[in-house]
């Protein structure tokens, strides 16, 4: 069975970071996208480093269209302010 491919919207926030912290310990889930708003300090950084782990190679992006089209699940921890922008890409 292949791992479930997850994209986290709001990756730099409290709950998004929690997901990024927990998922690497699970062999059945793999984060393939990390998105946050353009003014987030998380954008451009490595998702692993963001949560105090070793670099993961996954860069946090502000591009809401950066989510891989073949992801299985989108976890949305965003605010209403960017919800409409995200919906154009889901």
pLDDT value, residue 5? 93
In the beta sheet, which residues pair with residue 30? Answer: 5
List of the chain residues with pLDDT < 50: none
- Reduced to 3 states (helix: H, G, I; strand: E, B; else coil), residue 21 is helix
pTM: 0.82
For 54, other C-beta atoms within 10 Å of its C-beta total 9
Residue 87, pLDDT score: 57
**Cα 57 from chain centre:** 12
């Amino acid at each position: 069975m292949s791992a479930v491919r997850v994209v986290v919207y709001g990756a730099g926030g409290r709950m998004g970071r929690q997901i990024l912290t927990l998922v690497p310990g699970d062999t059945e889930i793999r984060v393939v996208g990390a998105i946050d708003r353009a003014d987030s300090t998380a954008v451009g950084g490595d998702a692993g480093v963001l949560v105090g782990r070793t670099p993961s190679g996954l860069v946090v992006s502000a591009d809401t269209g950066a989510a891989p089209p073949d992801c299985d699940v989108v976890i949305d921890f965003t605010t209403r302010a960017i919800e409409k922008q995200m919906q154009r890409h889901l």
